[in-house]
Structure 1
Amino acid sequence: MLVVTRRPNEKIAFPSLGITVHVLRVTGASAKVGIEAPPEIKVLRDEIVPAAEVAAPARSPQSKRADHALANALSKVTLAVHLARKQWDAGRPAEADDTLKMALQALEALEPKAPAPPVPRRALIVEDDANERELLAGLLGFNGCECATAADGEDALAYLAAGNRPDVVIMDMAMPRCDGPETLRRIRADQRLAGLRVFSVSSTNPREVNVPDGPAGFDAWFPKPLNPKRLWDAIQDAVRSPATAN
């Protein structure tokens, strides 16, 4: 609780909440205040706040299911311990041992499961602008994507010919030695690379560079300036649903 002393026409501000309390007038033991708050925040006198709004916050369905599972497991353990004691007293130790094993299994079921390891994602970034190439690789790397880079189509084809197969190739169009359309044509002509996802990141239109539609073309086209989230979503989709080789 914050306790402060304020005079008329002074304020108390809560910057992170966007709320300001104005002290308008102080008379005897009472004070008149005005409260500025964002429209989504209700401001009510305590005596008229509905009981539902001061109750504990609503619990999520996941939380309810977890509580239900805990109650069931503890019930099994309690019953098992009581039964095992009766079995032991009755001279049936083998049955008591089996019953206690059931109790341990119920407790083990409450152990949190380790999260599944992340699916590795690998990308080959083909871009002649060194700064843009490294910036994109750095950004994708922070998202958990392993990135190899190539300065042009010739470098990219050499990388792929060495047996390296990424989940996706991300390629610019205007590059020296071997540009985007020619690199794409040679990738699609190589049966060893059948089904490889190839994305274009370019300021040009696919019609301007005579890139075909369908299986011989790009799997996705991302205009510059690039929307990183849209690209990352497409990379994840490519990993979850790998293309089928023709």
Structure 2
Amino acid sequence: MLVLSGKEQQRVAFPNFGMTVEFLRVEGSRVRVGFDAPSHIGIQRGEQVEQMDLAGDRQLAGDLDDFGGTESNRKRNYDFRNRLNTANIAMNVLQKQLVAGLVDDAAATFSDALKMFSDVDHVVCNRFPVSAAKEKESDDRRALVVEGNANERELLAGYLRMCGYVVDTVQDGIDAMLYLANRSQRPDVVLLDMQVPRMDGANTVRAIRSNPAYQDIRIFAVSGLNRALTRVEIGHDGGVDGWLFESLEPAAFADEIDRCCPTV
């Protein structure tokens, strides 16, 4: 399950699905959440749930004819519509819970809804895959996410998997070093939270860079700290390949990695 710890202005994107979710404002027991979605995704206020118009679903069913007319594709269409409808209902329930001030219930519904949209996004991605050249390029890309916060760790790992990475996760620097020592196939990229417990990010960077066997690994620091305070340099030989601020959304993480390491 995808679980989030929401902060103001935090955004979650489903690129294949064309949808983003953003926490706009958090004030006590009231939370404002924004949903940016294609026109065929119906998102309504809670009091309108009972009056949902089926025309949108019929239009979506027509749009999904592009999947093809075989029995197998019709079953996929049916499954897609069911998943999408369930996710839409969850969004409406969420809205009603927020209006009623049921913040804890809304948080649980929000996590469930994001998982549902993630499933739909996965279906779209599989049905309309990237080009063969791009797909082959990403087949062997591997990433290790080193993050002490379980919610953030799984969110980032899940997004990178959707971007074509094979992803493993650990919770601190010591586990990261044990992972590297015990794997014959090492990651191309390490995303390292600079404040992980036990062995912090700066010491983990130094430990990785001191081992010649790990010289090909790209390291990206993930932190809200000023880099100067960590005494970590930018540079592949003795430091990190890039510095990513925690406030960046997952899509920006992936874009920055691709920009700095186009051949990974």
| More RCO (CA 8 Å, sep 6+) | 2
Q: So what's the TM-score if we normalise by structure 1?
A: 0.49
Structure index of larger Rg: 1
Q: Which has the higher helix share?
A: 2
